[in-house]
Amino acid sequence: MFFQEPELQYEVTVEEPDPHFAKLLQQAIGGQEGEMRVAMQYMFQAWALPDEYKGYRKLLMETAAEELGHIEMLATAVTKNLRGSPKQMDDDAEETAAAAAAMTGQNPRQFLSSGMSAMPVDSNGVPFTGAYIAASGNLAGDLYANVMAEATGRTLATRLWEYTNDPGMKDMLSYLIARDTMHQNQWLAALDSLEDPVPVPASFPQEEENQEVNYAFMSTSREPEDDPQQPWTQGESPDGKGQFSYLAEQPGGGTPSVPKPDPSTYSDPNEGGDE
């Protein structure tokens, strides 16, 4: 169940509307690093958790709802940057999307499809896709994915902050950057609160995996090379369950060979299947 209030989570002001910056802000809405991604990601992760993990479910849902507020903020910012700008299209420019894009650098569809409003798309106008969402049903794996999502989102927000000179936009982005800082840390704290989360999934019996390669860094160079003696080739593994080692060569498994396809598939290029 959701409730809504007719109030932004954080004030959004635009002093100098900029249609081109509106196009860039779309990445923070519907892009791979955007708020639609994390909002839906956290929801689907939460909905997969059983009652014994209800504390984590609440953490995920609280953050998902917050991210919905971020989408609203960014959509407001996009619309404010599109409307009332001194770069607005005149009557002649409105005749073609190409002229609009040339004049303002904006996404033509923001005029043609949404009437100078925000859209659920990225900065190239590509619609948001659920393919961005990581929700595996394994809490530890999902929390690692969330750290990555917040890291890329924070990187995007800092780049947008550097791009704009508008004080209002800098202020809004400063808020979003700060929330990304918190979210990265809360997911790391949640991971740390798990008793024994790695390797993911920790519930799989490790004695069933190949013990010769499960903590070995494998070189894929054509010619064998010496151990570079890096933290990932020697010493104890971070999960405390093995010792890193170095393999100068891949194990090798023979020449690749597959059976012939069923004749009914007509995959053989020769008539009658003769060589």
Q: Secondary structure of 200-253 in the HEC alphabet?
A: CCCCCCHHHCCCCCCCEEECCCCCCCCCCCCCCCCEECCCCCCEEEEECCCCCC
Residue 94 pLDDT: 52
Q: Decide if pLDDT at 27 tops 90.
A: yes
> Is 177 a domain residue?
yes
Residue 75 pLDDT: 97
Parent domain of 174: 19-193
- Say if residue 187 is in the same domain as residue 225: no
Q: Decide if pLDDT at 149 tops 90.
A: yes
Residue 173 pLDDT: 97
Strand segments, DSSP code E, in 98-242 are 216-218, 235-236
| Closest residue by Cα to residue 153 from 12, 17, 13, 31 | 31
Q: Which of 7-11, 13-17, 127-131, 200-204 has the lowest mean pLDDT?
A: 200-204
**Mean predicted lDDT score pLDDT of the chain:** 89
Q: Decide if pLDDT at 111 tops 80.
A: no
- Say if residue 188 is in the same domain as residue 215: no
> Is 65 a domain residue?
yes
Contact 111, 94 (CB under 8 A): yes
- Say if residue 104 is in the same domain as residue 215: no
> Is 6 a domain residue?
no
- Say if residue 157 is in the same domain as residue 120: yes
> Is 60 a domain residue?
yes
> Is 258 a domain residue?
no
Range picked from 1-10, 179-188, 198-207, 251-260 for highest mean pLDDT: 179-188
- Say if residue 43 is in the same domain as residue 95: yes
Residue 272 pLDDT: 64
Q: Decide if pLDDT at 156 tops 70.
A: yes
Residue 186 pLDDT: 96
> Is 268 a domain residue?
no
- Say if residue 167 is in the same domain as residue 212: no
- Say if residue 89 is in the same domain as residue 184: yes
> Is 225 a domain residue?
yes
The number of distinct structural domains making up the chain is: 2
- Say if residue 144 is in the same domain as residue 42: yes
- pLDDT per position as a tens digit, 211-238: 999 999 999 988 999 999 999 999 999 9
Bridge partners for 188 per DSSP: none
Residue 188 pLDDT: 96
Confidence category of residue 101, pLDDT binned at 50, 70, 90? low
- Say if residue 88 is in the same domain as residue 162: yes
Q: State how far the alpha carbon of 230 is from the alpha carbons of 22, 33, 216, 243, in Å.
A: 45, 31, 12, 13
Residue 2 pLDDT: 85
Residue 156: which CATH number? 1.20.1260.10
Residue 273 pLDDT: 57
Contact 30, 121 (CB under 8 A): yes
Q: Decide if pLDDT at 89 tops 80.
A: no
Question: Of 166, 193, 220, which marks where a domain is finished?
Answer: 193
- Backbone torsions φ then ψ of 41, nearest 5 degrees: -60, -50
Question: Of 193, 218, 239, which marks where a domain is finished?
Answer: 193
- Backbone torsions φ then ψ of 12, nearest 5 degrees: -120, 115
- Say if residue 174 is in the same domain as residue 225: no
Instruction: Compute the radius of gyration of the chain from its Cα atoms.
Output: 25
More confidently predicted of 196 and 35: 35
> Is 216 a domain residue?
yes
Mean pLDDT of 157-162: 96
Residue 178 pLDDT: 96
- Say if residue 226 is in the same domain as residue 165: no
Question: Of 173, 193, 213, which marks where a domain is finished?
Answer: 193
- Say if residue 217 is in the same domain as residue 177: no
Range picked from 70-79, 83-92, 102-111, 196-205 for highest mean pLDDT: 70-79
What's the pTM? 0.85
* Rounded Cα–Cα distance for residues 143 and 243 (Å): 25
